[in-house]
Amino acid sequence: MAAIMDTNASNAFVGTHPAMSWRSTIAGLLISLFIFGILLSLGIAIGGVSLSDGASLNNTGTIGALWLLLSVLLAVFAGSYFSARVSNFISPWVGMAQGAVLASLFIGVVLWQMVGLATWMTRSAGMLIGSVAQVGAQYGPSAAQSAASTMNLSINEIIEENLSDVQFRTEPTIVISGVASRILRGNPEGAKRYLAAQSNLSVAQVDQRINELQVQVQNTTQEARVAAANALKITGWSLFAVMVLGLLVSIAGGVMGAIANSEEPATRATLPGFRPVHTTI
């Protein structure tokens, strides 16, 4: 009779209760976010101290990236373990499922801003490669000028240095910007005509100066393109590593929490693999 009652209770529990506790999953997510915030704040503070003590930006950036990865892994492990423990499930498969769901929620929240950063980098790279030619013709604030200001300054410096000994018929900054915009648009003949009309150089001298400038500008834009591509590549692989490792560690935390429940449950468990059912006989 007792065995029949236990079987009926088990079947009733399975039929009326989900195999995963969403309340404990949300609780674990909040714990993960809280721990991540603590570790992230500590990493920022340590990085600031390192910079004030004379550490290089490259070393600080590398350590910061590793600390960010470590913070994510510790946060999801702690949250997943806590979620499995408070759910009272003792099945490792249930703990694995809760860990996977918690990792998905956590990584989705945390990477929200990182995806925004990657989008900004992609947009900036595209503007740098495809639209930077229009910057030289702009004299007021604009979106293109803001995104490519560093690149524009570098190219203007190259042209200004190359034409430092030339006497112009108008304002030198205007001539330099005009030459830069024409070269960046892939119009060297237009740049030659413009420079010849605005300077005291002969046709041969103009040809020589513009050809030299064209090679220098192409090298500069190529370096900028490679740097942007490397930045995007590093960002993509970093996001991939955080997501995969975070998922695996969170699953491990859920499994360990379920195993800990089977050995020493946080509360009494009467049904293997499920939360306790309180019945009155």
* Of 128, 155, 122, the residue nearest 144 (C-alpha): 128
Helices (H) and strands (E) in the chain, counts: 9, 0
pLDDT in tens, 187-223: 888 888 888 888 888 888 888 888 888 888 788 778 8
Q: Are 132 and 144 in contact (CB under 8 A)?
A: yes
pLDDT in tens, 241-279: 888 898 899 999 988 988 888 887 665 544 445 454 444
For residue 168, what are the β-bridge partners? 199
Give me 182's structure tokens.
């024409």
Q: What is the torsion angle, in degrees rounded to the nearest 10, for the CA atoms of residue 248, residue 253, residue 254 and residue 259?
A: 130
Q: Are 126 and 170 in contact (CB under 8 A)?
A: no
268: helix, coil or strand?
Answer: coil
d(CA 43, CA 33): 15
36: helix, coil or strand?
Answer: helix
Could you identify the residue written with the tokens 């605005």?
A: 198
User: For residues 58 and 5, which has the higher predicted lDDT (pLDDT)?
Assistant: 58
For 199, phi then psi, to 5°, come to: -145, 180
201: helix, coil or strand?
Answer: coil
* Of 66, 85, 62, the residue nearest 74 (C-alpha): 66
Termini Cα distance of the chain:
13
Mean pLDDT of the chain: 74
Domain ranges of the chain: 132-227
Question: Between the ranges 6-10, 30-34, 67-71, 173-177, where is the mean pLDDT highest?
Answer: 30-34
d(CA 49, CA 80): 32
Give me 13's structure tokens.
């529990």
Q: Are 102 and 257 in contact (CB under 8 A)?
A: no
Mean pLDDT for 218-231 is 80
For residue 87, what are the β-bridge partners? none
pLDDT above 90 for 77: yes
d(CA 267, CA 269): 6
